[in-house]
């Protein structure tokens, strides 16, 4: 990976611009290569998860749904206070 990153000037510039550590840049570069290989059918194993599965907005919305659910549950059981 170090040799591939060393030969790729635009990626080295992106690593410096993003202020990533060399380890973080190597990880991103490896995942990028995995993604390109997978998209072109070079190998059969799925690529690493490049994008987050659950982000902050989904967690916040799940929390809101949970609060509404608790509110509805308490109101249906006859509790007047939350």
Domain boundaries, the chain: 1-51, 52-82
pLDDT at res. 33: 80
pLDDT at res. 25: 78
User: What count of other Cβ atoms lies within 10 Å of the Cβ of residue 15?
Assistant: 19
Residue 45 has pLDDT above 70, yes or no: no
Residue 50 has pLDDT above 70, yes or no: no
User: What count of other Cβ atoms lies within 10 Å of the Cβ of residue 65?
Assistant: 10
Residue 63 has pLDDT above 90, yes or no: yes
Q: How confident is the model at residue 41 (pLDDT cuts 50, 70, 90)?
A: confident
pTM of the entire predicted model: 0.41
**Whole-angstrom distance, CA of residue 48 vs CA of residue 51:** 9
Average pLDDT, the chain: 78
pLDDT at res. 77: 76
Residue 58 has pLDDT above 80, yes or no: yes
Q: Which two tokens stand for residue 80?
A: 């007047």
């Amino acid at each position: 990976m170090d040799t591939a990153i060393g030969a790729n000037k635009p990626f080295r510039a992106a690593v410096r611009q993003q202020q990533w550590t060399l380890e973080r840049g190597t990880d991103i570069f490896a995942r990028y290569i995995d993604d390109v290989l997978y998209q072109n059918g070079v190998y059969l194993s799925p690529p690493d998860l490049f994008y987050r599965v659950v982000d902050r907005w989904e967690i916040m919305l799940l929390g809101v749904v949970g609060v509404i659910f608790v509110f509805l549950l308490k109101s249906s059981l006859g509790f007047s206070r939350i």
